């Protein structure tokens, strides 16, 4: 019977999606290679953890310095392999990672050091308690291609500073950017076995999942995420799942049409619409609907498409033709069911096989595929709604719950609506930038995932919390130990009365009864 690995491609080919140029061919890691990488990571992890938090923070500072020096080179490597405009690579990838390093350098000490646990219960006052945050050991990271640097790097930095070793399986479409990350980390002082990259397709990821890692952080699509969750459940492997989205944008009747339409256009077409946080559904109050849709269409028609290396390019290619076909099928379905194409709606073969024109659709309905399935491409579907309640109902009517945005001039009203939306993040008067706020947790609800990356909660995912309890009076037997009897029962009742009875008299009588416990005979 053929195993996953026998049927896997032996080589992966990294291709520039704008030009079709082959950038490099790489050997796929087989099961044995993945297992050996995890074994080396395990062997190296103890020394990395023993290095101590302060020293690991210093290594992060080194990494940050090296990344800053090579910022343009790294951005160019990203643009070559994914196609996004160079300035987007700088801002949404390099800057995000520089700032994630800043957050960890400034906060890891405070967030990871031992923390005292004061005891409120009288009976446990003779003990001191501590929370100790220990690394899991070896963390496996499986990442997608759309943000090939910022996603694995932000997760890796948090894992490493907490004392873990990391084995990263990047997307088969973007292995070269992952190798750039490895070079930077190694140059900064992370031992080679503490951060390793294993390249390959799905089977290499599956091999990582089967290997004896201690936790897996997965970012990718819902179907793969479900497969991973099922396999992880077999061995109770803890996982973080950062999955897809279908983020709604709610434009209320008092919104600034010019600002909100620019946001919709950027939110739908940044990275050619291939962002988990892309604006994928737009619900606009009927009073603004036509003017908003028209403004979106006009702005979309001004976008310049092309190779991301050209400074004037606003929107680059999609990652591969397969992704273009999904977009095309969603747009065709919408058109066939009555949607109006206000801009785009076609491929751009004169630019290359991976180019699809940024598309604005009006008169879409909630049951169309474009409003239900993740499109992950440059399409902005706009639909009218009649009031705030309807907008919230439509926003929540989705299997996804990654992020959402509300657009209004009234902040209080925006906040009220934001609290009613089922999502991991809701922004009032902005889109997507939450991913770049290093303090903010990133992650979804419903099918959009489990767990968080980034910020304090992202760091929490990289440690096990151990509760350390130390008795202050080691020579004393605990009053609740064996040697029970009727008087002990009465003493304990008294003890409960002393602590929890409402009336002062009952409490005092309880205290007198409980006092007898001090002379109790115990085993
Ligand atoms: P994908 O699920 O196809 O692949 C993601 C990764 O999983 C790749 O490295 C792939 O090789 C690997 N993989 C595939 N099959 C596997 C298996 N059986 N076992 C283990 N690993 C396997 O996703 P993609 O196309 O690379 O990325 C796009 C998706 O990722 C979109 O749905 C997008 O919304 C989502 N995404 C989510 C976030 C987030 O933070 N929530 C961020 C970026 C992308």
Is 69 inside a domain boundary?
A: yes
Q: What is the pLDDT of residues 171-206, one digit of tens each?
A: 999 999 999 999 999 999 999 999 999 999 999 999
Cβ of residue 275 lying under 6 Å from some atom of ligand 1: no
Same domain, 410 and 493: no
Cβ of residue 172 lying under 6 Å from some atom of ligand 1: yes
Is 14 inside a domain boundary?
A: no
Q: How far apart are CA 445 and CA 243, in angstroms?
A: 10
Is 62 inside a domain boundary?
A: yes
Q: What is the pLDDT of residues 3-59, one digit of tens each?
A: 444 444 589 999 999 999 999 999 999 999 999 999 999 999 999 999 999 999 999
Cβ of residue 219 lying under 6 Å from some atom of ligand 1: yes
Element (H, E) at 497: helix 486-500
Mean pLDDT of the chain: 97
Helices (H), 302-424: 321-336, 369-372, 388-396, 411-420
Same domain, 414 and 334: yes
Q: What is the pLDDT of residues 154-176, one digit of tens each?
A: 999 999 999 999 999 999 999 99
Helix (H, G, I), strand (E, B) or coil at 67: helix
The mean-pLDDT minimum among 3-7, 10-14, 305-309, 446-450 falls in: 3-7
Token duo for residue 108? 């890891």
Same domain, 78 and 217: yes
Q: What is the pLDDT of residues 384-399, one digit of tens each?
A: 999 999 999 999 999 9
Token duo for residue 280? 């994928």
Same domain, 391 and 331: yes
Buried b (16+ CB within 10 A) or exposed e, 387-419: ebeebbebbeebebbbbbbbbbeeeeebeebbe
Same domain, 96 and 223: yes
How far is ligand 1, taken at its centre, from the CA of residue 46, in Å? 30
Nearest Cα residue to atom 26 of ligand 1: 144
Q: Is 50 exceeded by the pLDDT of residue 2?
A: no
Check residues 121 and 415 and name the one with the higher pLDDT: 415
Compute the chain's Rg from CA coordinates: 28
How far is ligand 1, taken at its centre, from the CA of residue 406, in Å? 28
Secondary-structure breakdown of the chain: helix, strand, coil percentages, each rounded to the nearest 5: 45, 20, 35
Q: How far apart are CA 378 and CA 123, in angstroms?
A: 62
Q: What is the CATH number of the domain that holds 146?
A: 3.40.605.10
Percentage above 70 pLDDT, the chain: 98
Is 28 a catalytic site residue?
no
The DSSP symbol for 90 reads I
Looking up tokens 């803890």 gives: 238
Is 208 inside a domain boundary?
A: yes
The mean-pLDDT minimum among 35-49, 451-465, 466-480 falls in: 466-480
Which parts of 195-244 are beta strand (E)? 195-197, 215-219, 239-242
Residue 222 belongs to domain spanning: 31-244+456-466
pLDDT for res 5: 42
Same domain, 151 and 256: no
Helices (H), 53-149: 53-69, 71-82, 86-89, 95-112
Closest among 137, 66, 61 to 104, alpha carbons compared: 61
Same domain, 238 and 256: no
Same domain, 286 and 158: no
**CB-based burial label for 324 (10 Å; 0-12, 13-18, 19+):** buried
Is 22 inside a domain boundary?
A: no
pLDDT for res 518: 87
Among candidate residues 31, 81, 155, 242, the one labeled active-site is 242
Q: What is the pLDDT of residues 322-364, one digit of tens each?
A: 999 999 999 999 999 999 999 999 999 999 999 999 999 999 9
Looking up tokens 């939450």 gives: 434
Same domain, 293 and 428: yes
Among candidate residues 28, 276, 385, 434, the one labeled active-site is 276
Cβ of residue 82 lying under 6 Å from some atom of ligand 1: no
Q: How far apart are CA 197 and CA 184, in angstroms?
A: 13
Same domain, 187 and 304: no
Give 37's contacts (C-beta < 8 A, 6+ positions apart).
Answer: 29, 167, 196, 198
pLDDT for res 369: 98
How far is ligand 1, taken at its centre, from the CA of residue 104, in Å? 26
**CB-based burial label for 112 (10 Å; 0-12, 13-18, 19+):** buried
Token duo for residue 80? 């070559």
Give 35's contacts (C-beta < 8 A, 6+ positions apart).
Answer: 207, 211
Domain count, the chain: 3
| Rounded to 5°, angle at Cα 180 from 179 and 186 | 85
Same domain, 83 and 179: yes
Same domain, 92 and 59: yes
| Backbone torsions φ then ψ of 339, nearest 5 degrees | -75, 150
Helix (H, G, I), strand (E, B) or coil at 126: coil
Q: What is the CATH number of the domain that holds 257?
A: 3.40.309.10
Is 276 a catalytic site residue?
yes
Give 507's contacts (C-beta < 8 A, 6+ positions apart).
Answer: 497, 498, 499, 501
Q: How far apart are CA 439 and CA 458, in angstroms?
A: 9
Is 270 inside a domain boundary?
A: yes
**CB-based burial label for 132 (10 Å; 0-12, 13-18, 19+):** middle
Is 446 inside a domain boundary?
A: no
Cβ of residue 140 lying under 6 Å from some atom of ligand 1: no
DSSP state letters, 179-205:
HHHHHHHHHHT--TTTEEE---SHHHH
């Amino acid at each position: 019977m053929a195993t996953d690995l026998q049927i896997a491609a032996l080589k992966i080919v990294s291709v520039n999606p704008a030009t079709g140029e082959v950038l490099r061919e790489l050997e796929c890691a087989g099961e044995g290679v993945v297992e050996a990488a995890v074994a080396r990571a395990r062997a190296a992890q103890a020394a990395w953890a023993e290095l101590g938090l302060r020293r690991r923070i210093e290594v992060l500072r080194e990494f940050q310095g090296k990344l800053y020096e090579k910022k343009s080179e790294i951005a160019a490597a990203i643009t070559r392999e994914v196609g996004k405009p160079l300035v987007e690579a700088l801002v949404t990838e390099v800057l995000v990672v520089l700032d994630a390093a800043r957050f960890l350098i400034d906060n890891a000490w405070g967030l990871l050091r031992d923390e005292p646990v004061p005891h409120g219960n009288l009976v446990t006052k003779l003990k001191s308690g501590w929370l100790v945050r220990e690394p899991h050991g070896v963390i496996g990271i499986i990442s997608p291609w759309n943000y090939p640097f910022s996603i694995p790097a932000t997760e890796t930095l948090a894992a490493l500073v907490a004392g873990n070793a990391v084995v990263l399986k990047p997307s088969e479409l973007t292995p070269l950017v992952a190798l750039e990350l490895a070079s930077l980390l190694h140059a900064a002082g992370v031992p080679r076995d503490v951060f390793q990259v294993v390249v390959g397709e799905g089977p290499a990821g599956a091999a990582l999942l089967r290997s004896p890692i201690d936790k897996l952080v997965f970012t990718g699509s819902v179907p793969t995420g479900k497969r991973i969750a099922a396999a992880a459940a077999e061995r109770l492997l803890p996982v973080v799942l950062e999955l897809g989205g279908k983020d709604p944008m709610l434009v209320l009747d008092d919104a600034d049409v010019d600002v909100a339409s620019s946001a919709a256009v950027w939110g739908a077409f940044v990275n050619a619409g291939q962002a988990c946080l892309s604006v994928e559904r737009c619900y606009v109050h009927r009073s603004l609907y036509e003017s908003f849709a028209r403004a979106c269409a006009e702005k979309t028609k001004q976008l310049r498409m092309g190779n991301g290396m050209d400074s004037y390019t606003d929107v680059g290619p999609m990652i591969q033709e397969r992704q273009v076909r999904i977009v095309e099928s969603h747009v065709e379905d919408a058109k066939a069911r009555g949607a109006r194409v206000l801009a785009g709606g076609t491929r751009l073969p004169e630019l290359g096989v991976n180019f699809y024109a940024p598309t604005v659709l009006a008169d879409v309905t909630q049951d169309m595929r474009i409003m239900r399935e993740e499109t992950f491409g440059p399409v902005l579907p706009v639909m009218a709604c009649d009031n705030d309640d309807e907008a919230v109902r439509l926003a929540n009517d989705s299997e996804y719950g990654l992020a959402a945005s509300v657009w209004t001039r009234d902040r209080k009203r925006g906040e009220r609506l934001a609290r009613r939306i089922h999502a991991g993040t809701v922004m009032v008067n902005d889109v997507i930038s939450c991913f770049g706020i290093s303090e903010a947790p990133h992650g979804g609800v419903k099918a959009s995932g489990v767990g968080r990356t980034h910020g304090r909660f992202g760091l929490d995912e990289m440690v096990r919390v151990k509760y350390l309890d130390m008795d202050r009076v080691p020579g004393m037997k605990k009053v609740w130990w064996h040697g029970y009897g009727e008087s002990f029962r009465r003493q304990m009742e008294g003890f409960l009365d002393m602590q929890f009875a409402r009336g002062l008299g009952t409490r005092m009588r309880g205290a007198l009864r409980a006092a007898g416990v001090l002379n109790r005979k115990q085993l």
